[in-house]
């Protein structure tokens, strides 16, 4: 990573404002945190700063309050969960800027932690307002970005603040950029990419960036329908975006030009209706009946995909193979996850639904890296510059 990290700067005794990604799901019944994965991901950076004697000021958004104070999106439950994980007190404010916050920061002792209120209660946050960024910067001597999940947003707390403070990466940000960067810049061979999800349009830039880099491109999920159609196969009433078939045909042509192996489903699990309990069966990809829809890859495809995965030195996966939330159509996603867990190479899961699927199967710890950033990971792998990374100080 060519950006400075918290290892490169002196933090002892300093006020350090850390942008974390505590945008976690809440349990509406209990009022607590339903999944603390993102909080745990920030712990190495928080522990390091405390051990080094920094005064730690954490800031994050939660949900989409649209620039208004929303009581059920306050960060108090997150502060409680963080206290439990740290085994010590975490002070919290009911604002993120202003006199109350300034007094709380002034009272911090070395090693103590303060969590500011939801940044997005202020419309100035998403607008990247310079005055708001300056107010946040005024609370600290050093800025640390450890929120890779929001690094693709040019907001006051992710990019604007870096204009007023020395800005470095936390350990999570460093790890994300290192692994995703390795896939793009220094991949071992063979290099395989697995792409799924519903829409070709969501992944078109990603596909174009990977075509010249990978040895094997594996396509499943709803987006595979367009590729099957581009090959002259019928896909029943499976979801197809307007223009997707033409896009798929262009990708198939480019894949042939680059001489790479492009694997598509050869069979699928189909259903009469888009419902969890709909009647379903497995058929060859060339025999999808009129009025049926493809909702998962079939057993022959799972085997072919797994063989390619197990033979690769580095694998990047973004997007499920089917409607994995419904048991009848989850086996394709499970099979890919199990193959990655058994792969001896570097395995990188690109956030969002894919990370959710891996976690639900209890296989997250079997992957080399599971990204905490859905949209950020996708944009990084597309080759786009992320504002939250670009704003950090160079080595």
Per the structure block, which two tokens stand in for 132?
A: 């708001």
Domains and CATH numbers, the chain: 6-172 (3.40.50.1260), 179-381 (3.40.50.1260)
46: pLDDT strictly greater than 70 = yes
- For residue 1, name the pLDDT band (cuts at 50, 70, 90): low
Distances (CA, A) of 32 to 23, 35, 79, 116: 13, 9, 10, 18
What pLDDT score does 37 carry?
87
Closest among 362, 368, 318, 355 to 338, alpha carbons compared: 362
pLDDT by residue (tens digit) across 359-377? 888 999 999 999 888 788 8
- Ramachandran bin of 128, using left for φ above 0, alpha for ψ from -120 to 50, beta for the remaining angles: left
pTM attached to this predicted model: 0.87
Least confident segment among 132-146, 256-270, 271-285, 343-357: 343-357
pLDDT at res. 182: 83
pLDDT at 374: 79
Residues acting as catalytic residues: 38, 199, 352, 375
Give residue 343's pLDDT. Answer: 96
**What is the predicted pLDDT for the residue at 59?**
98
394 - beta bridge partners? 3
The tokens describing 391, both together, are 């704003």
Strands ordered across the beta sheet of 314-318: 261-263, 216-219, 191-195, 314-318, 346-349, 369-370
Q: What is the pLDDT of residues 303-357, one digit of tens each?
A: 999 999 999 999 999 999 999 999 999 999 999 999 999 999 999 998 678 888 8
Q: What pLDDT was estimated at residue 389? A: 94
- The residues, ordered by sequence, that sit 6+ positions from 388 with a Cβ below 8 Å of its Cβ are 19, 145, 147, 148, 150, 151, 152, 153, 154, 158, 159, 173, 376
Q: Distances from the Cα of 157 to the Cαs of 42, 57, 126, 173, 291, in angstroms?
A: 16, 12, 9, 15, 49
pLDDT level of residue 185 (50, 70, 90 thresholds) = confident
Between 356 and 291, the more confident residue is 291
Q: How many CB atoms lie within 10 A of CB 36?
A: 18
321 is written with which tokens?
């193979």
- Which of the given ranges, 32-41, 200-209, 308-317, 380-389, has the highest pLDDT on average? 308-317
Per-residue pLDDT at 206: 86
Indicate if the pLDDT at residue 112 is higher than 60: yes
Q: Which residue has the tokens 């944009």?
A: 379
- Please state, in angstroms and rounded to a whole number, the distance separating the CA atoms of residues 2 and 385: 14
User: Binning pLDDT at 50, 70 and 90, where does residue 139 land?
Assistant: very high
What is the average pLDDT value for the chain, to the nearest integer?
93
> Is residue 77 over pLDDT 80?
yes
* Rounded mean pLDDT, 174-178: 92
Mean pLDDT check: name the lowest of 104-108, 180-184, 317-321.
Answer: 180-184
Assess whether the previous peptide bond of 190 is cis (omega < 30° from 0): yes
Higher per-residue pLDDT: 14 or 360: 14
3-state secondary structure the chain: CCECEHHHCCCCCCEEEEECCCCCCECCCCCCECCCHHHHHHHHHHHHHHHCCCEEEEECCCCCCCCCCCHHHCCHHHHHHHHHHHCCCCEECCCCCCHHHHHHHHCCCCCCEEECCCHHHCHHHHCCCHHHHHHHHCCCCEEEECCHHHCCCCCCCCCHHHHCCCEEECHHHHHHHHHHHHHHHCCCCCEEEEECCCCCCCCHHHHHHHHCCCCEEEECCCCHHHHHHHCCCCCCCCCCCCCHHHHHHHHHHHHHHHCCEEECCCEEEEECCCCCCCCEEEEEHHHCCCCCEEEEECHHHHHHHHHHHHCCCEEEEECCCCCCCCHHHCHHHHHHHHHHHHCCCEEEECCHHHHHHHHHCCCHHHCCEECCCHHHHHHHHCCCCCHHHHCCCEC
Here the tokens at position 312 are 């690769």
Please say if the pLDDT value at position 194 is more than 70: yes
Residue 176 has pLDDT above 80, yes or no: yes
pLDDT at 16: 98
Decide if 305 contacts 278 (C-beta within 8 A).
Answer: no
What value does the mean pLDDT take over residues 126-155?
Answer: 97
What are the Cα distances from residue 350, in Å, to 148, 179, 196, 262? 12, 10, 11, 19
Sheet with 280-284, edge to edge strand ranges = 280-284, 267-271, 293-297
Predicted confidence at residue 198, as pLDDT, reads: 82
Give the pLDDT band (50/70/90) at residue 251: very high
């Amino acid at each position: 990573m060519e950006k400075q990290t918290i290892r490169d700067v002196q933090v002892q005794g300093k006020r350090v404002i850390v942008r974390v990604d505590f945008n976690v799901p809440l349990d509406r019944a209990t009022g607590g945190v339903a999944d603390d994965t993102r909080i745990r991901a920030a712990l190495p950076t928080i522990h390091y700063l405390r051990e080094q004697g920094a005064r730690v000021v954490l800031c994050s958004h939660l949900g989409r309050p649209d620039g208004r104070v929303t009581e059920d999106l306050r960060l108090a439950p997150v502060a409680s969960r963080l206290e439990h994980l740290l085994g010590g007190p975490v002070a919290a404010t009911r604002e993120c800027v202003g006199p109350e916050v300034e007094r709380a920061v002034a009272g911090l002792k070395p090693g103590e932690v303060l969590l500011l209120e939801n940044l997005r209660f202020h419309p100035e946050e998403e607008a990247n307002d310079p005055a708001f960024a300056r107010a946040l910067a005024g609370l600290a001597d050093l800025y640390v970005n450890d929120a890779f999940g929001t690094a693709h947003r040019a907001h006051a707390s992710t990019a604007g603040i870096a204009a007023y403070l020395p800005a470095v990466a936390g350990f999570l940000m460093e790890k994300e950029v290192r692994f995703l960067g390795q896939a793009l810049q220094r991949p071992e061979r063979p290099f395989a990419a697995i792409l799924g999800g519903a829409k070709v349009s969501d992944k078109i830039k990603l596909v174009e960036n990977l075509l010249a880099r990978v040895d094997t491109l594996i396509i499943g999920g709803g987006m595979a329908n367009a590729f099957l159609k581009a090959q002259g196969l019928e896909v029943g009433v499976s979801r197809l975006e307007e223009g997707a078939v033409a896009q798929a045909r262009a990708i198939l042509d480019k894949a042939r030009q680059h001489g790479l192996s492009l694997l598509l489903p050869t069979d699928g699990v189909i259903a009469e209706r888009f419902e969890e309990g709909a009647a379903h069966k497995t058929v060859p990809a060339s025999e999808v009946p009129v009025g049926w829809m493809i909702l998962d890859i079939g057993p022959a495809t799972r085997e072919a995909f797994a063989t390619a995965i197990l033979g690769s030195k580095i694998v990047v996966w973004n997007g499920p193979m089917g409607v994995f939330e419904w048991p009848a159509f989850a086996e394709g996603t499970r099979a890919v996850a199990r193959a990655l867990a058994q792969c001896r190479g570097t395995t990188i899961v690109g956030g969002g639904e894919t990370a959710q699927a891996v976690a639900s199967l209890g296989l997250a710890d079997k992957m080399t890296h599971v990204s905490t950033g859905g949209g950020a990971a996708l944009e990084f792998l597309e080759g786009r510059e992320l504002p939250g990374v670009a704003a950090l100080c160079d080595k």
